[in-house]
Amino acid sequence: GRAVVELVVEGMAQRIESSPERLEDRCLVLPSPKRDRRVADLGAGDDTDLLRVLPLVASFIAGAVLAEVGATLSLRMASTGGDRRWYVPLVLGYVLAFFLISGALSLGMPLGVAYGVWVAVGIVLTAVLSRILFREPLTPLMLGGMGLIVAGVLLVELGGVH
């Protein structure tokens, strides 16, 4: 079979098809100021390789969460304030969020874990900020539900460890 590999060079992603027989053809190339690093078979269970890019993956996920929460709060402002200018950060925030989450996925983060963390942290942060900014309710039952969501994401994460 043929494998699809993504080359990430200075922020530009390029998809190529390659034969899985050669290890070099199955690597993700990451830019580095000093030299290129090759992370072989990301997402294929090699925890050492995944740990090398974990800070970058975490920054992609954190950025995606912040962009999505900002867009969601802009949605609240656009829908209740009557000011159409709020649609600009709304659209840009959602586009940026999907771009960043795809960056985490391209580095080997499993889809279920990436999406789970993104949604769980986004729900909690949106609920807390909605309470602060818009005086929306945040009841103990809601907090309990958010705790269950976070626990569920942790179980998905732990379930993926072999």
Q: 9-65: per-residue pLDDT in tens?
A: 334 344 444 444 443 444 454 444 433 343 334 445 555 666 788 899 999 999 999
Helical axes 111-134 vs 47-81, angle rounded to 10°? 40
* Residue type at 24 in one-letter notation: E
- Nearest Cα to Cα of residue 76 among 65, 92, 62, 87: 87
Pairing between β-strand 37-40 and β-strand 12-18 as defined by DSSP bridges: unpaired
Looking at per-residue pLDDT, the higher value among 73 and 8 belongs to 73
Looking at the whole model, is its pTM more than 0.85? no
| Nearest-angstrom CA–CA distance, 65 and 63 | 5
| End-to-end CA gap in the chain | 25
* Residue type at 110 in one-letter notation: P
Q: Is the pLDDT of residue 109 over 70?
A: yes
In the prediction, which pLDDT does 133 show?
A: 94
- Give the model confidence (pLDDT) of 51-104 as tens digits: 788 899 999 999 999 999 999 999 999 998 778 899 999 999 999 999 999 999
In the prediction, which pLDDT does 21 show?
A: 45
In the prediction, which pLDDT does 81 show?
A: 74
Q: What are residue 155's DSSP bridge partners?
A: none
Q: What are residue 117's DSSP bridge partners?
A: none
In the prediction, which pLDDT does 102 show?
A: 96
